[in-house]
Amino acid sequence: MHCPSVFLLLLLAGGAEAFRICAFNAQRLTLAKVAREHVMDTLVRILARCDIMVLQEVVDSSGSAIPLLLRELKRFDGSGPYDFLSSPPLGRSTYKEQYVYIYRSHKTRALDHYLYNDEDDLFAREPFVAQFTLPSKVLPSLVLVPLHTTPKDVEKELNALYDVFLDVSQRWQSKDVILLGDFNADCASLNKKHLGELVLRTQAGFHWAIADGEDTTVRASTHCTYDRIVLHGERCQSLLHAAATFDFPRRFQLTEEEVKGWGRNGVSGKSFSPDTNTLSHRPSPGSQHQRPLPCGGGAEPGGVQGSAPWPGRSVAAIIAAATPAPSAGPSGLKLPNACCPQM
């Protein structure tokens, strides 16, 4: 079982400061997982790179994991306040997940949000749609539509995502929309023929910013483009400069075994109370973690019970809000480190 990557979607506001929109499947993010020191350390360093982060697979019934995560994020990164916007628990069985937006409240605000009305039960986790402001005269607001598909129904859910786009466009009279998340859109979950037949592929106006064949996993034995960013809207697409992956295990110098540890139960390591304690150690970005990164257990229906989930790489796209940049083309562009030193 894979654990999809962080996505970094970068927008250049006013042609100067980058505005980053990210998405990350956090692999069954529970309070117990967040309370592990090295998990928290990695999560806050990922979150601190983003102005808006869309977390997927938040499965915290206590309601304490995200406030704890934000508390430590604010301590780690003092550049400004953060806030969050959370969907209700979503799922067809006792297994439920939430979509959670974490954002810098001094740089953006949520204008509106709603849970898509999935009358025909096409989605295992219907999209939790949100509209955010952007510090841009070219594109003052943008709609985000996250989706985490279930592997057994990828094609059906991705085709239904087009209906979500139509619903969003009619509701808010906006064509500038970004669809993003763990689509499971490759390998065994969706072959190339069915991928090419998706409505979001055949309908004009949608740009798949992450190239087919781009590896969005970190497992050495896996090479799949599970995670995607799809843009719609002339203003949005005209500002797109590049799209790429961000390999956070490589950047944070995590071994494959440490990354694999995100999917294990019962891994030893320091933890702390969500009420009083703080992290006792905050390694520098170049430091080497010595303990694995634990994760909550279980599996969603259709998943593999007991297998260790794997995180993946990030993908990035740059939108220049001041001057339209050259198109990234149908395959997207690898983002050079030089254009974004914080990555």
DSSP 26-90: EEEE-HHHHTBHHHHHHHHHHHTT-SEEEEEEE--TTS-HHHHHHHHHHHH--SS-EEEEEPPPB
Yes or no: say if 36 and 271 are a contact pair by the CB < 8 Å rule. yes
Q: Look at residue 170 and give its three-state secondary structure.
A: helix
DSSP 213-275: T------TT-----EEEEEESHHHHHTEEEEEEE-HHHHTT--HHHHHGGG-SS----B--SS
Q: Look at residue 49 and give its three-state secondary structure.
A: coil
Q: Which of 2, 38, 148, 232 is catalytic?
A: 148
Which residue type, as a one-letter code, is found at position 174?
Answer: S
Q: Which of 72, 97, 126, 300 is catalytic?
A: 97
The verdict on whether 223 is a catalytic residue reads: no
**What radius of gyration, in Å, describes the C-alpha atoms of the chain?**
19
Yes or no: say if 57 and 148 are a contact pair by the CB < 8 Å rule. yes
Yes or no: say if 232 and 207 are a contact pair by the CB < 8 Å rule. yes
Which residue type, as a one-letter code, is found at position 68?
Answer: L
Question: Considering all CA atoms of the chain, what is the largest pairwise distance in Å, rounded to the nearest integer?
Answer: 53
Distance CA 159, CA 175 (A): 18
Question: CB count, 10 Å around CB of 342?
Answer: 9
Yes or no: say if 270 and 8 are a contact pair by the CB < 8 Å rule. no
CB burial string 156-184: b at 16+ within 10 A, e below: ebbbbbbebbebbbeebebebbbbbbbbb
The verdict on whether 17 is a catalytic residue reads: no
DSSP state of 137: S
- Check residue 184 and give left, alpha or beta (phi > 0: left; psi -120 to 50: alpha): left
Query: Which residues does the annotation mark as catalytic?
Result: 97, 148
